[in-house]
Structure 1
Amino acid sequence: MTTALAPREELICTSVEWACRAPSLHNSQPWRFVYDSAGLHLYVDERRLLDTTDPTGRQAIISCGAALHHLRIALPHFGLAPTVRRFPDPADPSLLADITFDRVEDLDPRDAALFLAIEHRRTDRRPFRRPSEVALHDLDRAARRHGATMTLLGPEARDELARASRTSAALHRYDPAYRAELLWWSGHSRDDGIPRNLLPAAVDGPPAVEIARTFPAGTLEADGDEDQAALGVLSTCTDTSRDWLHVGEALSSVLLEATALHLATCPLTHVTEVPASREIVRATTAVAGSPCRYPQVAIRFGGPRHPPLVGQTARRSVEDVYRVR
């Protein structure tokens, strides 16, 4: 049951802060929120697009979709039930969603668990143990609730995703703009990007996680363990901006559900960044039974092999991403 409410601005601001804990490409945080008398409005911040890595803005909108789902989970915790209109203004494609509010009377226990998971979710680039099949089934259902499908890949598909990863790396290897962009967003101590303590340390021989993006060397030690992570791919049957937003919401849902199940997670976006590697992923998911031909994001899931990551990845201040007009 809900009753009408004129929400207090500070509750909206606090909810936005929690929304901004969502994952994003290279922790670029390409979102901005505006609150006015009509409600809260989510925009993609086009100043924060990665022009070489993400020339269409697909991954930026996926990132914003993850923030939208985090917001939808946070608002009920603060007594607000959101209603979302996606792409409400055809004349303004940067406006991704309008959110209005009612008062929530009863907090859904699942949403309460996912809200707690926001604080504990991390992108962990170290090797994982194999998760249980029961947990993976729950994650598949979480994706479908948001208009995406998640194809779970068997161990035999790992070589194909590793080939997609190598293909993407080879096409980027001699691209100075890509290398400069990757360096800009990696290894810095600031309010965005990926800090060195979350990037794998340099190793002799092949990397511990063979399907991972190759970042500049960091300080995160992995002890040489074999990666036994399960692999899933979020896909859509069309490839529009609306699909990308829904995929972001599905990604957030899956990652938070996995965190609530005490699983470690790591999204893999590089395997769908270039057409050649994306086609390898598409063919692999088709063999595994996916009904959709547009792979958007791959994800590693598993039991953690190492102590939890310390601290949280930095976030931009709420003053940078939120304003009232």
Structure 2
Amino acid sequence: MNDIGTQATERTQHDSTGPDLTACVRAATAAPSLHNSQPWRFRIGAHGVDVHADPRRQLDVLDPAGRELLISVGAAVFTLRLAIRGAGYLSHTTLFPDDTDPDLVARVSVGQPMAPTPAAEALVAAIPHRHTNRWPFARSVVPADAVERLADAARREGATLTVANAVSRNAILSLSQEADRALRAQGRYRAELARWTSPQRGRRDGVPSTAIGPWDALEILPIRDFGLLQPHRDRAAAPFEPYPTIMVLAVDGDTRRHWVHAGQALQRVLLTATWLNLATTPISQPVEIPAIRRLLTDSRTGSWAQMVLRVGYGRPAAATPRRPLTEVLLPDDGGATGR
């Protein structure tokens, strides 16, 4: 049993008040997503929340199979589960509950009341403070006990998180740079990147200029160049840490269901890192080029790399905007949620 606290193994009756599911959905929208695309929609019912993928927000160039879209939705599912737990209730999650509706990713049903554990409360408190950090980190070493806590967070969601040793780290960074160059050479990639970074008044998605960060003057880390439309020399440069802590998140399979599990594990890891005052940067380029992703995957065990993470101590990062609930809430279907 995992401990956001414990997930109920079967749905039980709860009191007439129940958690504020609208507030829980609002918390879920704080989950991370590729280019802050926020590819999710929610339907609140009498007994829980249905979480849908929004295929209109899929990035066709970077994510043609929808793997990162489902990782993003999985992160939202975990945050929803956590918010319900923080409100004092257990929950039960069923993935892909309707074979006729492939965009219905998860049904999260509310279970019986139970006071949240201190660990769950700490993770809930971390939700609004988790932000992708694209700035240089301190050269301080991440303590071994913190690394173990992050690995344990992944294990609790059925994933593995492995810290790279010096040789593996250099190999992963080299592969990441190779992947970044391959992506940057594609005109369609540049156009897609522009779509999610173009400044628009009142925009509530995408990556704003305040969240982009500088270019790595040492050219060690492939920080995504969201300023592609501007001359490269105009982007500020700064020396990043020369020996970053790099970790690889993997799950034992590579199906749609595995991708959702990976997203839940990713968000638990990111929130645990936030709780530990650690900064994080997902480095997705090496898992966006199939040939390079295969090099990070253990074919003997079937453990598929899903995300590369940079972890360390950094300056506070700016938040990215979120769409209002009116844009992500689907109309009630008559109370069917939680069947």
TM-score (normalizing by structure 1): 0.89
Equivalent residues, number: 315
Range that drifts further, 219-228 or 84-93? 219-228
Contact 1:167 1:276 in 2 (8 A): no
| Residue identity matched to 1:263 | L
Establish whether residue 228 from structure 1 lines up as the match of residue 243 from structure 2: yes
- After superposition, the Cα gap between the structure-2 partners of 1:187 and 1:153, relative to the gap in structure 1 and judged at 3 Å, is farther
- After superposition, the Cα gap between the structure-2 partners of 1:188 and 1:301, relative to the gap in structure 1 and judged at 3 Å, is same
Contact 1:236 1:243 in 2 (8 A): yes
Contact 1:164 1:281 in 2 (8 A): no
Matching residue within 17, 20, 41 for 1:11: 20
| Residue identity matched to 1:309 | A
Matching residue within 179, 183, 187 for 1:176: 187
Give 1:297's aligned residue.
307
| Residue identity matched to 1:24 | S
1:180-203 residue CA offsets vs partner (Å, 9 max, x unmatched)? 001111253520011111112357
Q: Please give the root-mean-square deviation of Cα atoms over the aligned residues, in Å.
A: 2.5
1:55-91 residue CA offsets vs partner (Å, 9 max, x unmatched)? 0000000000000111111112223322111111122
Give 1:115's aligned residue.
124
Give 2:266's aligned residue.
251
1:44 deviates by: 0.5
Task: Output the CA distance in 2 between the equivalents of 1:199 and 1:213.
Answer: 8
Range that drifts further, 274-283 or 230-239? 274-283
Give 1:277's aligned residue.
292
- After superposition, the Cα gap between the structure-2 partners of 1:225 and 1:176, relative to the gap in structure 1 and judged at 3 Å, is closer
1:7 deviates by: 6.3
1:220 deviates by: 8.9
Task: Output the CA distance in 1 between the equivalents of 2:131 and 2:235.
Answer: 14
- After superposition, the Cα gap between the structure-2 partners of 1:178 and 1:6, relative to the gap in structure 1 and judged at 3 Å, is farther
Establish whether residue 316 from structure 1 lines up as the match of residue 323 from structure 2: yes
Task: Output the CA distance in 1 between the equivalents of 2:133 and 2:70.
Answer: 22
1:122 deviates by: 1.1
Give 1:128's aligned residue.
137
Map 1:1-325 to 2 at 5 A. Answer: 4-5=13-14, 11-37=20-46, 39-129=48-138, 130-186=141-197, 188=199, 190-202=203-215, 206-207=218-219, 209-216=220-227, 223-282=238-297, 291-304=301-314, 306=315, 308-310=316-318, 312-325=319-332
Structure 1 unaligned blocks of 5 or more = none
Range that drifts further, 251-260 or 77-86? 77-86
| Residue identity matched to 1:315 | R
Contact 1:13 1:322 in 2 (8 A): no
Contact 2:15 2:113 in 1 (8 A): no
SS at match of 1:178: helix
Range that drifts further, 180-189 or 238-247? 180-189
Contact 1:230 1:302 in 2 (8 A): yes
SS at match of 1:324: coil
SS at match of 1:299: strand
- After superposition, the Cα gap between the structure-2 partners of 1:151 and 1:202, relative to the gap in structure 1 and judged at 3 Å, is closer
SS at match of 2:59: coil
| Residue identity matched to 1:236 | V
1:168 deviates by: 1.5
Task: Output the CA distance in 2 between the equivalents of 1:7 and 1:45.
Answer: 31
Task: Output the CA distance in 2 between the equivalents of 1:131 and 1:58.
Answer: 29
Task: Output the CA distance in 1 between the equivalents of 2:163 and 2:30.
Answer: 26
1:316 deviates by: 0.4
SS at match of 2:254: coil
Range that drifts further, 79-88 or 136-145? 79-88
Task: Output the CA distance in 2 between the equivalents of 1:175 and 1:223.
Answer: 26
Contact 1:128 1:228 in 2 (8 A): no
Using the aligned pairs only, state the percent identity: 35
1:104 deviates by: 2.2
Task: Output the CA distance in 2 between the equivalents of 1:179 and 1:85.
Answer: 37
Task: Output the CA distance in 2 between the equivalents of 1:128 and 1:119.
Answer: 21
Task: Output the CA distance in 1 between the equivalents of 2:184 and 2:313.
Answer: 32
Task: Output the CA distance in 1 between the equivalents of 2:106 and 2:215.
Answer: 41
Task: Output the CA distance in 2 between the equivalents of 1:123 and 1:7.
Answer: 38
